[in-house]
Amino acid sequence: MVGNGDLRPHAVVTGGAGFLGSHLCDALLASGHRVTCVDNFETGHSANLRHLIDEKAFTLLRRDLNDDLDGELPGPVDVVFHLAAPAAPSDYLLDPVATMRSTSTGTLNALDLARARSARFVLASTSEVYGPAGDAPSREDRVGQVDPVDGYGAYYESRRFAEALTTAYRTTYTMRTAIGRIFNTYGPRMRLDDGGVVSRFIRQALAGTPLTVPGPGTQIRSLCYVDDAVAGLLALAEGGYPGPVNIGSPEAVPVYTIAQEVAEIAGPAAEIVFVEPPAVDSRARRPDITLAGQLLDWQPRTSVHDGLAATLAWFRRSRVRRA
């Protein structure tokens, strides 16, 4: 439990029971912060925080971000990391209205909390704001092309609105805000039903079934290990640049190569089979991280092999077989 007399810097992490948020809580505690995690557990999981329950510098606040937060948090707040938002298609397509409400009102309430406490505010946005992937890596100065009325429009537009709202608070109230655009991230505690190729291969390896590669497996993916993504968010919080800044891996990795890495790590019994590709296979975005390197001195440091090995080892230790 976080005490009011504790002089350590206080970080609030919304969505802290999620995959990325729980790792951010770990890193903040390791760096000497007090941490308050705010989550309603609609998409987050209590198991992601089980190891922190007895940590004296950690407080779990089960609240919906559609409600005001300021009165729930006594004492000063130094930084608010806003990660609360449905991120998997299985979540945000289920109820598009709820997605837009939580992402818009939730961001508003998180910003109001940071404003009331004169805290730094860091928005974890998404590469989805760029729209369909092109041939070149996505740069921060690229204007996104998003269709607000397609099936995914509620998610895309709500995240774009969150960026616009964060920018409006910065310019109107002279707040210290920052925006990080997170690209595809993987690692321990990731959801195995997020629709990505890594989660599918990990799930299949755990079940002892063949790893299914669609088509020839030449499709490109960008994979950033979760520890590297967290380091990027921390560097963004510590700096003064408002963003947006891309946080992800610029390395282009073919899907078949990912399957080969997982199969090698899983053991000699692992098998790879090729299956019919989907009718529409969306191209993966890759970030240009020149800005992150120049302004934050940040770049991913974990190789795909090492990251996949750590991920599979964690799931095996945890005996997780499903999402």
| Residues 6 or more apart in contact with residue 153 via CB below 8 angstroms | 96, 146, 147
Q: What is the pLDDT of residue 320?
A: 64
Do 93 and 178 lie in a common domain? yes
* pLDDT confidence of residue 280: 66
Residues 6+ apart with CB under 8 A from 9: 32, 33, 34, 78, 79
178 and 270 co-located in one domain: no
- The pLDDT-based confidence of 323 (bands split at 50, 70, 90) is very low
Domain count, the chain: 2
> Could you give the percent of the chain with pLDDT greater than 70?
95
pLDDT at site 72:
80
Give the number of other CB atoms < 10 A from CB of residue 20.
23
Do the domain assignments include residue 293? Answer: no
Q: Let me know if residue 212 belongs to a domain.
A: yes
DSSP string spanning 292-315?
Answer: HHHHH-----S-HHHHHHHHHHHH
What's the Cα-to-Cα distance from 273 to each of 63, 222, 223, 280, rounded to whole Å? Answer: 44, 22, 22, 20
| Alpha carbon distance 223, 235 (integer Å) | 19
- Local confidence band at 1 (pLDDT 50, 70, 90 cut-offs): very low
Phi, psi of 304 (to 5 degrees): -60, -45
Domain containing residue 194: CATH number? 3.90.25.10
Q: Which of 250, 248, 253 is nearest to 304 (CA)?
A: 253
The more confidently predicted of residues 67 and 21 is: 21
Domain membership of residue 323 (yes or no) is no
Give the structural domain span for 205.
185-223+251-285+301-318
User: CATH code at 133?
Assistant: 3.40.50.720
Query: Is it the case that residue 67 has pLDDT exceeding 50?
Result: yes
Confirm whether 45 is domain-assigned. Answer: yes
Give the model's pLDDT for residue 172: 98
Whether 199 and 275 map to the same domain: the answer is yes
Q: What pLDDT, on a 0 to 100 scale, did the predictor assign at position 17?
A: 96
Q: What's the pLDDT score for residue 85?
A: 85
Q: How far apart are CA 219 and CA 239, in angstroms?
A: 35
Across 13-27, 92-106, 304-318, least confident range = 92-106
Same domain, 136 and 259: no
**Per-residue pLDDT tens over the stretch 196-252:** 899 999 999 999 999 999 999 999 999 999 999 999 999 999 999 999 999 999 999
Closest residue by Cα to residue 284 from 260, 313, 251, 314? 251
Same domain, yes or no: 111 and 95 = yes
- pLDDT score recorded for residue 259: 97
Is the domain of 90 the same as that of 229? yes
**Which residue would you say has higher pLDDT here, 176 or 92?**
176
Residue 47 has pLDDT above 90, yes or no: yes
Q: How many whole angstroms separate alpha carbon 198 and alpha carbon 216?
A: 17
Global pTM reads 0.93
The overall average pLDDT reported for the chain is: 91
In a domain, 3, yes or no: no
Q: What pLDDT does residue 100 have?
A: 85
The reply to whether 21 falls in a domain is yes
Q: What's the Cα-to-Cα distance from 159 to each of 166, 200, 297, 298, rounded to whole Å?
A: 11, 26, 26, 24
* Residue pLDDT, tens place only, 123-177: 999 998 998 887 789 999 987 777 777 777 788 889 999 999 999 999 999 999 9
**Residues 258 and 176 placed together within one structural domain of the fold:** no
Instruction: Return all residues near 68 (Cβ < 8 A) that are at least 6 apart.
Output: 109, 112
161 lies in the same domain as 243? yes
Q: Which residues pair with 177 in a beta bridge?
A: 121
pLDDT at residue 4, rounded to an integer: 56
- Residues with a catalytic annotation lie at 155
Same domain, 108 and 32: yes
Decide if 211 is inside a domain.
yes
The terminus-to-terminus CA distance of the chain in angstroms comes to 29
- Residue 304: band (very low, low, confident or very high) from pLDDT cuts 50, 70, 90: very high
What's the average model confidence in pLDDT over 57-78?
A: 89
Give domain status of residue 160, yes or no: yes
Is the bond preceding residue 287 a cis peptide, omega within 30 degrees?
A: no
Residues 67 and 203 both lie in one domain: no
Question: Do 149 and 37 share a structural domain?
Answer: yes
User: Which pLDDT score, from 0 to 100, does residue 281 have?
Assistant: 64
Rg (CA), the chain: 19
Is residue 132 domain-shared with residue 214, that is, in the same domain? no
Q: Where are the alpha helices (DSSP H) in the chain?
A: 19-30, 89-92, 96-116, 153-173, 197-207, 226-238, 255-266, 290-296, 304-318
